């Protein structure tokens, strides 16, 4: 099982351990694993299907879901199933972040053989796995904003909120593992559509696990080459940052 635990930092140590959420199905793959607070202070958690496809459609299971809880672990009053479940039908959800202008929740997700997805996530919506993926559609199931064949293995995702790169304003950045690049997506918040894409740093750092817009306006990312799937070089794994050209 996976669980979500809260600690308080005290004197550079972790203290005051509190269990917030337990019994999230786990496996050696498809565990999701991102935690992020929304602007209203609620905690969102990505949970993969634990390599058991049918759990993604079962709203009695926490697997294959995006979960939402209060900071103390209780279920928010507005959750659609009166449980920690916020959305369902996910295979292996990865990065999540909210568009700075619209407030929409965007998500990156691993597909099966290809069909990696970028989704806009609404509460109570069904994102189809394992019934549909990629270009397939079915009533009452959501299709992705875009998908990738062959697979790029999208991982952590963040919108750029800084001022140092004006051309990146409100763009969604996604680290890719198999793709070995930093994916830049230009998004129209009104239509909730992707209007352009660019692959940055392709092949330069191998597997990129996560990316975030720093408080200094720079863009930070981390590599993941020492997990047995990458090709580590001297200095891996590392945290790196993009800075404006002089």
Return the DSSP state at 167: G
The yes-or-no answer on residue 30 being catalytic is yes
Distance of alpha carbon 78 from alpha carbon 99, whole angstroms: 20
Give SS3 for 232: coil
Q: Taking Cα atoms as reference points, which of 199, 195, 167 lies closest to residue 180?
A: 199
Distance of alpha carbon 1 from alpha carbon 11, whole angstroms: 30
Give the containing element (helix H, strand E) for 172.
Answer: strand 172-176
- Calculate the alpha carbon distances from 226 to 16, 132, 231, 234, 235 in Å: 31, 33, 7, 11, 11
- Contact between residue 212 and residue 156 where contact means Cβ atoms under 8 Å apart: yes
Distance of alpha carbon 90 from alpha carbon 6, whole angstroms: 25
Beta-strand runs (E) in 11-149: 13-24, 35-37, 43-47, 65-69, 85-88, 93-98, 105-109, 116-121, 146-148
Q: Which of 30, 90, 110, 181 is catalytic?
A: 30
The residues assigned a catalytic role are 30
């Amino acid at each position: 099982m996976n669980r979500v635990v809260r600690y308080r930092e005290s004197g550079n140590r972790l203290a005051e351990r509190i269990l917030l959420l337990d019994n999230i199905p786990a496996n050696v793959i498809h565990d999701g694993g991102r935690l992020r607070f929304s602007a209203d202070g609620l905690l969102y958690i990505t949970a993969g299907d634990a390599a058991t496809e049918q759990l993604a459609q079962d709203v009695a299971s926490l697997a294959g879901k995006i979960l939402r809880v209060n900071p103390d672990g209780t279920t928010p009053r507005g959750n659609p199933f009166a449980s920690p479940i916020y959305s369902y039908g996910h295979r292996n959800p990865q990065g999540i972040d909210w568009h700075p202008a619209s407030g929409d929740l965007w998500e990156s997700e691993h597909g099966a053989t290809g069909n990696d997805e970028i989704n806009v996530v609404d509460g109570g919506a069904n994102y189809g796995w394992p019934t549909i993926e990629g270009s397939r559609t079915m009533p009452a199931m959501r299709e992705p904003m875009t998908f990738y064949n062959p697979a790029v293995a999208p991982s952590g995702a963040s919108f750029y909120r800084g001022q140092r790169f004006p051309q990146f304003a409100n763009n969604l950045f996604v680290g890719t593992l198999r793709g070995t690049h930093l994916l830049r997506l230009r998004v129209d918040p009104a239509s909730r559509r992707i209007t352009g894409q660019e692959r940055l740093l392709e092949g330069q750092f191998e597997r990129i696990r996560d990316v975030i817009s720093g408080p200094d306006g720079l863009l930070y990312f981390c590599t993941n080459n020492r997990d047995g799937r990458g090709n580590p070089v001297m200095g891996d794994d590392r945290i790196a940052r993009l800075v404006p050209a002089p």
